[in-house]
């Protein structure tokens, strides 16, 4: 169960807001804030820092919300969009794209809990995949840099690959830095020369 989530509901209709907030609280999510007015959106997103924002697809404030998400570098925050039409393929496509969750019929009170759980679980899964992918890419890039740095040392000092690596490691330890940082400095310095 995903508890302690901060949820922001952007919805101008007071009755729908009540339904959604009730359903969320019944489902165990207590940290919920509702917002009707676009003018407060910027401040609220910054101050409340929600984990997930719920907004109707038909709500024109979506563009504002998206801009605030870029500006506050919180694009990794889930935005769930409610669509009042029955079209599971759209939800699936959106979920697979991993950016926004389109939640079909989500504004029906009895369904909110289950659709939201699905959306959040899926969002977390995508976020984790993304961070694993980022880490893998970084590791690959680091390895390339270290290989280049080793090559530079091997040429300049006429040492073996192992010795070049040991030299990098010793320098890093001596300076309290990471091997990759030393390698980066070496490669950058080499790139500066014509």
Partner 1 sequence: MSRIVLNCGYVPLVDCAPLVIAKELGFAEEKGLALNLVRQPSWSALRDMLALGHLDAAQMLAPMPVALSMGLGGLPAAVDTLMVLSVNGTVFGVSNTVAKDLSGVAFGDAQALVSALATRAGRPLRIGVPFHYSMHRLLLSYWSATHPAWQIEEITVPPPRMADAVESGLVDAFWVGEPWGSVAVQQGVGQLMMAGRDVWQFAPEKVLAARHDWIEQNQDAARRLMQAVYQAAAWLDAPKNKPLAVEILARSEHLSVSHDLIDPALTGHLVTRPDSKPKAVERFLQFHKHAASFPWRSQAAWIAHHLGADATGIEKAKACFRSDLYRQNLSEIGVDMPGASEKHEGAMRFETAVASTRGHMILAPDAFFDGRTFDFS
In the complex, the residues that contact partner 1 under the rule CB under 8 A are 38-39, 42, 57-64, 66-68, 70, 81, 90, 93-94, 97, 99-100, 102
Contact 101, 78 (CB under 8 A): yes
We find the least distance from the C-beta atom of residue 130 to partner 1, in angstroms, to be 11
Q: Which is nearer to partner 1, 70 or 192 (CB)?
A: 70
We find the least distance from the C-beta atom of residue 114 to partner 1, in angstroms, to be 22
We find the least distance from the C-beta atom of residue 56 to partner 1, in angstroms, to be 9
We find the least distance from the C-beta atom of residue 39 to partner 1, in angstroms, to be 5
We find the least distance from the C-beta atom of residue 115 to partner 1, in angstroms, to be 18
Show the 3-state SS of the chain: CCCCCCEEEECCCHHHHHHHHHHHHHCCCCCEEEECCHHHHHHHHHHHCCCEEEEECCCCCHHHHHHHHHHCCCCCCEEEEEECCCCHHHHHHHHHHCCEEEEECCCCHHHHHHHHHHHHHHHHHHHHHHHHHHHHHHHHHHHHHHHHHHHHHHHHHCCCHHHHHHHHHHHHHHHCCCHHHHHHHHHHHHHHCC
Strand partners, 7: 32, 52
Q: Which is nearer to partner 1, 26 or 87 (CB)?
A: 87
Q: Which is nearer to partner 1, 137 or 155 (CB)?
A: 137
Q: Which is nearer to partner 1, 75 or 138 (CB)?
A: 75
Q: Which two tokens stand for residue 60?
A: 């024109």
We find the least distance from the C-beta atom of residue 160 to partner 1, in angstroms, to be 37
SS3 call for 32? strand
Q: Which is nearer to partner 1, 99 or 140 (CB)?
A: 99
Q: Which is nearer to partner 1, 57 or 172 (CB)?
A: 57
């Amino acid at each position: 169960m995903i508890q302690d989530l901060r949820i922001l509901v952007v919805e101008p209709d007071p009755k729908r807001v009540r339904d959604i907030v009730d359903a969320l609280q019944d489902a165990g999510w207590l940290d919920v804030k509702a917002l009707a007015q676009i003018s407060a959106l910027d401040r609220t997103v910054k101050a409340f820092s929600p984990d997930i924002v719920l907004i109707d697809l038909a709500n024109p404030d979506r563009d504002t919300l998206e801009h605030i998400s870029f500006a506050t570098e919180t694009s990794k925050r889930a935005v769930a969009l409610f669509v009042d039409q029955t079209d599971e393929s759209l939800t699936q496509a959106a979920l697979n794209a991993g950016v926004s969750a389109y939640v079909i019929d989500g504004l029906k009170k009895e369904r909110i809990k289950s659709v939201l759980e699905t959306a959040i679980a899926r969002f977390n899964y995508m976020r984790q995949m993304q961070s694993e992918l980022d880490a893998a890419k970084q590791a690959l890039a680091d390895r390339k840099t270290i290989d280049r740095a080793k090559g530079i040392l091997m040429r300049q000092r006429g040492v073996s690959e192992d010795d070049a690596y040991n030299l990098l490691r010793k320098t890093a330890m001596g300076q309290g830095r990471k091997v990759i940082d030393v390698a980066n400095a070496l490669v950058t310095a080499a790139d500066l020369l014509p």
